[in-house]
Structure 1
Amino acid sequence: MGNYDALLILSFGGPEGPEDVMPFLENVVRGRNVPRARLEEVAEHYHHFGGVSPINQQNRDLIEAVRPTLDVPVYWGNRNWAPFGEDTVRQMKEDGVRRAAVFATSAFAGYSSCRQYYEDIARISLPDGPELVKLPHYGDHPGFVTAMADRVREALAVLGRDDARLVFTAHSIPLAHAASAYESELRHSAALVNAALGRTEDWDLVWQSRSGPPQVPWLEPDVLDHLREVKAGGVVLAPIGFVSDHMEVVYDLDTEAVQVAGELGLPMARAGTVGTHPAFVRVVADLMAGPEPVPCTLETCPQV
């Protein structure tokens, strides 16, 4: 399996109970001077689901799916909540790991989706610990494309409309960061998925989960605004920018977007994320067995 003797799955993290929510959010925004009122607003999203983010269990499920495909041990660490990456790397050192591949649970370029994981790796690395090598972006990998296409097919079947408008969604970012490869990689991946479906109809790429001051421009249109403007007999939302159905998917799409579609009388189904689809699970082993990763440039994944 390449030159690695372990795999580290590195993710964002999420609260696992109501008492975790505010400490988790404080970790997320540390050093960014986010108003307390904004944290309390976002906290309500988590409390709507009992204070539990789905992301940690979905990472556990991914790890269990990946393990049988590898001949090296699999570890898991997070940026913002337990198990923290630094604690995991200390355990890896104790276990004698020398060189580990790092699979980030984010498929595309950009600051928070890629560059920040490089920063995480630098922060959690130990001088005499294992070498940590981040695997490359994988939004155009055939396994990712196949898995996403299958999820869309499932949603089309639920909706019962082959002619439904296909609307891909991803996390919005400030326009100041959009000069990265983030948007172009997402559009390329969406085009590959549409081709895999054999569809000739037009599709859309829209954005969700924007935050920050309203005077700061972010990528648009927002998914809710788009639903109000779309002229179609039905819509399938495909959250291509996310690899699991975590909080921003289940709140922004399964809660807010469902409410808007209901108000509009617009038939809508939400495609699943790639999750533990077998084709996506195989992506990890493929990347580990592939060529030595080339680190991203600041042009591809800028610092902020």
Structure 2
Amino acid sequence: MPLTVPEDDLRELEQHVRAALAAGDPRGLTVLGYGEVTLVLALETARGAFACKRLPVFGGRERFEAYGRTLTRYTDRLSAAGVHVAETALWHTGLPFGKIVGYCVQETLPVKRLVSHLLHTEDRAWAEDFFARFLDTVHGAVSPVLGLDAQASNWIDLDGDLVYLDVTSPLMRDARGRELLDVRLFFTSLPWILRDAVRIAVAKSIFDKFYTPRGVVLDFLGNLHKERLDALVPAFLEQANARITPALTAGEVAAYYKGDASMWELIQRLRKADRAWHLKVLRRPYPFLLPPDADR
């Protein structure tokens, strides 16, 4: 049965978001999590609880509809490749000057079943069993034209079934290796004068890793450092290297994480500078709610 989107409640949520943007303060919103570009908000309704991921603002309907087609194609292709994707609905509402804001909406799933949480609370046997299932999923799905951002916080384990949550950046490429995602859209939180330069400089390094099983596993293991789960890396490396060539090393994982963290810290500093410019010089609201500083 298709997910029923609570239209009126989402409109009210968006009004609260706009008030928070005008105030430059997320208080009054229940933030479930911050992505590198977007944030996830909790929405409690008479029809249930939802996790609502607010997308960057689209310049017009054509751009929004193109994103919607790409999102649908991505979830269909992941499902066909054996990935259990959390049911996701796309909702939107209009903004002034023909712009559109969209939300990816999912029913709220039990936070204690997030893999990033379970890896802290379950024993080593559970962790190794999870990682075997994870490797099966990654090797069955990932290809040069179909990618996966598979860090631990993007999965939930429901009775032994791994469910994938984060589909808001559809990772697909055409036969020539070009992203089908509207990449420019996801750099709109940077100062406009730097967007193209930063996109050209870092987009390839951001996306390339998601299109090979080795790159996906490297990213997963690197992000265990962020989750304070790096004690699991040696055992996971042993499992991964039984299936991956060339073999990954603990040094490579640590170096990868350090480089990735440095890149996102730079992007965050640029966003903060842009926010200061909007608020103090232009005297107008900054159109994004930035995450707090991460302890990377």
What is the TM-score normalised by the length of structure 2? 0.27
What is the TM-score normalised by the length of structure 1? 0.27
